[in-house]
Chains A and B, each alone.
Chain A
């Protein structure tokens, strides 16, 4: 006896078998135990495949999607700082080292030091001096507290970091944004 093909059995299971074929398949199933067994096996496979539990997406998926499609409202300046946090931190570290060098008078007057570095340090020192002078003037005007004539190392570092932030914002505003606008 010729058994039913897998295609015929699956079409019968899915209910997509053509009417003309259907009678022949039904007749065969009545007399063939092996094909009936195969039919039941295929039906069971389909039933379990449909009942297989769905995979669950992580709970963060929705948050991440929503964050991308509807970004949360934040202060623009805060967003700017966050976006440039890496640069700001890197610059702060560099300036910290420079600040340390400046706070040690002999460090930047070393005869082995290349002239370029000495020039940069001097320029930076001048800027620092001007900023310090400006703050002193402002402080004196406000007559709030007495300004110390000799800043400590930590005060210098804070001032340098503050100065670096101003420079960074200026570079971002004048150079980076101009380039970005030109590209767009």
Chain B
């Protein structure tokens, strides 16, 4: 049975600094997925992740034992990546209707294309379109689907208001839906 993160943290705080490597092994790939979806560049993502791990190590004495390490650590990863994005763009711009949950109450788009959900084509389309999601939506989407976090946990990680998290996740899903439907719909038309 794998040791819980808290046990490893106790060992590190007791002086066994090398045990931090176990935490790196456990979380590096999920954290890399979040960083890469946000930064869209492997080199930048690796650099951000390295920075996040080092920050986490130095902040371990301030770790709140009630929280899970993953939520606490992803908050660091998210902040490092958001800072990197801020430097790149000069700040993340949010549209005026971003916070408004009322905007979600829209009728669904036209009927989805007829596709075989178990087909490689469908799976590949979804996986590729997920990677293309815009940075600000990709973070929330990845935390929800890859890290399997609840809305409350995403709020905790990102520090965004609950309404914004809902809106961003909704937008990410509708964007993905449209992109996949368009891609598969076009292919169907070509095939016909």
Q: CB distance B111 to A45 under 8 Å?
A: no
Q: Which 7 A-B pairs have the closest CB atoms?
A: A41-B112, A44-B117, A48-B126, A57-B32, A57-B28, A49-B145, A7-B104
Cα distance A52–B131 in the bound complex, in angstroms: 10
- Would you give the 0/1 interface string for A111-126, flagging 1 where the beta carbon is closer than 8 Å to chain B? 0000000000000000
Q: CB distance B32 to A65 under 8 Å?
A: no
- Would you give the 0/1 interface string for B111-146, flagging 1 where the beta carbon is closer than 8 Å to chain A? 110010100001100110010000000000100011
Q: CB distance B107 to A65 under 8 Å?
A: no
Q: Would you call B25 an interface residue if the criterion is a C-beta within 8 Å of the partner chain's C-beta atoms?
A: yes
Q: Which residues of B contact A183 (CB under 8 A)?
A: none
- Which residue of chain B lies nearest to A52 when distances are taken between CB atoms in the complex? B127
* Residues of chain A in range 33-63 having any CB-CB distance to chain B below 8 Å: 34-35, 37-38, 40-42, 44-58, 61-62
Known: A40-B117, A62-B28. A45 touches B54 (CB 8 A): no
Q: Would you call B183 an interface residue if the criterion is a C-beta within 8 Å of the partner chain's C-beta atoms?
A: no
Q: CB distance A42 to B111 under 8 Å?
A: no
Q: Tally of A-B residue pairs with Cβ under 8 A?
A: 122
* Residues of chain A in range 1-51 having any CB-CB distance to chain B below 8 Å: 2-7, 9-10, 34-35, 37-38, 40-42, 44-51
Interface positions of B (Cβ within 8 A of A): 17-18, 20-21, 24-25, 28-33, 36, 45-46, 49-50, 53-54, 57-58, 104-109, 111-112, 115, 117, 122-123, 126-127, 130, 141, 145-146, 148, 170, 173-174, 176-177, 180-181
B78 CB to nearest A CB, Å: 16
B5 CB to nearest A CB, Å: 16
Q: CB distance B127 to A66 under 8 Å?
A: no
